[in-house]
Amino acid sequence: MNDLTPVQTQEAQTAAEACGRAPVGLLAELTHKCPLQCPYCSNPVELERANTELTTAEWQSVMRQAADLGVLQIHLSGGEPTARRDLEDIVQVASEVGLYTNLITAGVLLTKERLAKLKDLGLDHVQLSIQDVDDANAERISAYKGGLQKKRDVGRWVKELDMPLTVNAPLHRANIENLPNIIDFAVELGAGRIEVAHVQYYAWALKNRSALMPSRAQVIKTAHIVEEAKERLKGIMTFDFVVPDYYAKTPKPCMGGWGRGIMNVTPSGRVLPCHAAETLPGLEFDNVRDKTLREIWINGQAFQKYRGFEWMQDPCKTCPKREFDFGGCRCQAFAMTGDATNVDPACSLSPIHQDFVQIAEEASKQEAPAFVYRRMAPVKAKAPAEA
């Protein structure tokens, strides 16, 4: 990987003083357009339409402001970021201002020429998502034909262009038994890193919870497979392994703590502390069309709301682990209890933890229902009076 070249300015120092630190990463959701329709997509159920997207100049301004603020890494995401024809113009500016650029892509729209051009303009890293390594199952999960062969091509091009590659493998009950083959596939592609990430149940995945939830025994088996592969592939490929919250005893430090390290900019410029934050009531999301990233990071109501520890209730308020897990996920706490200040039910100290576990166990035992595919809602016809 290339060296990171953070831009340290007075502005970055001020932001760091005000908020403890400047954000390390910014997730730029360039568009919600995507030719795939994965039922676990982390995009919101209400997808943003192309006619609301930030312009090229607006995204370039976001890149400059991010660097000034002290952001180190830009994750160019979507939807499918290569669906933006101006991706090259955005990458060029991000690279010029010293940001480490990571393209998170399903790969199916890329050509080798385009990838080479992106590299020439400064793209540092490619993160290629896969649905499965069985062609028919990959097509079923993504509702897209021929995707796996295209991913093989993209993986090969990335290596031919001598770029670092991460394979991103979301895991769920429809592909979990193929994990050993998924790991082999990543090695064959020459990936230096694999993210084996059990699906987290927000947005589309929450809609598809019963279709996606594996059993506890399956999850434990994946942990053993990853441990064995980690050992066997030392020096060849590194692993990031994310377990599903439903079978955990303590929650993960969601986003590394609210408003602590990550900003998420949606296609239309709304700035969120996490990609699921729009599911929470009472938050006001500022837009990069109206305010600077710096103002939003330091003073944005949505960033302030759950930053630090003041908002916590017991058991988190007095728990020594709060410094490490920040009480878990606000969005999951709200989705399961109706109050975002409650302890994340993934924690064994949550009064509803057992119910939470039971939901997963029962869902995994039932026959998997059909997927609800990620699709843009049809535009509603206007009533004559509105037209």
| Cβ closest to ligand SF4, residue 78 vs residue 300 | 78
* Tokens found for residue 144: 């897209």
State the nearest-atom distance from the C-beta of 284 to ligand SF4, in Å.
26
| Cβ closest to ligand SF4, residue 59 vs residue 297 | 59
Give every CB contact of residue 160 below 8 A, 6+ residues apart in sequence: 112
Q: How many CB atoms lie within 10 A of CB 234?
A: 9
CA gap 235, 230 in Å, rounded = 9
- Answer yes or no whether residue 219 interacts with ligand SF4 by CB under 6 A: no
| Cβ closest to ligand SF4, residue 245 vs residue 286 | 245
| Cβ closest to ligand SF4, residue 121 vs residue 205 | 205
- Answer yes or no whether residue 43 interacts with ligand SF4 by CB under 6 A: yes
State the nearest-atom distance from the C-beta of 129 to ligand SF4, in Å.
6
- Angle at Cα 374 formed by Cα 59 and Cα 173, nearest 5°? 120
Pick from 14, 37, 210, 238 the residue near ligand SF4 by CB under 6 A: 37
Could you check whether the bond before residue 259 is cis, i.e. omega within 30 degrees of 0?
Answer: no
- Answer yes or no whether residue 307 interacts with ligand SF4 by CB under 6 A: no
Q: How many CB atoms lie within 10 A of CB 72?
A: 18
Pick from 53, 68, 286, 325 the residue near ligand SF4 by CB under 6 A: 325
* Tokens found for residue 121: 């303009």
- Answer yes or no whether residue 129 interacts with ligand SF4 by CB under 6 A: yes
- Answer yes or no whether residue 41 interacts with ligand SF4 by CB under 6 A: yes
- Angle at Cα 182 formed by Cα 180 and Cα 185, nearest 5°? 110
Q: How far apart are the first and last CA of the chain?
A: 54
Q: Name the residues that contact ligand SF4, by CB under 6 A.
A: 34, 36-38, 41, 43, 78-80, 106, 129, 250-251, 315-316, 319, 321-322, 325, 327-328, 343-344, 347, 349, 374
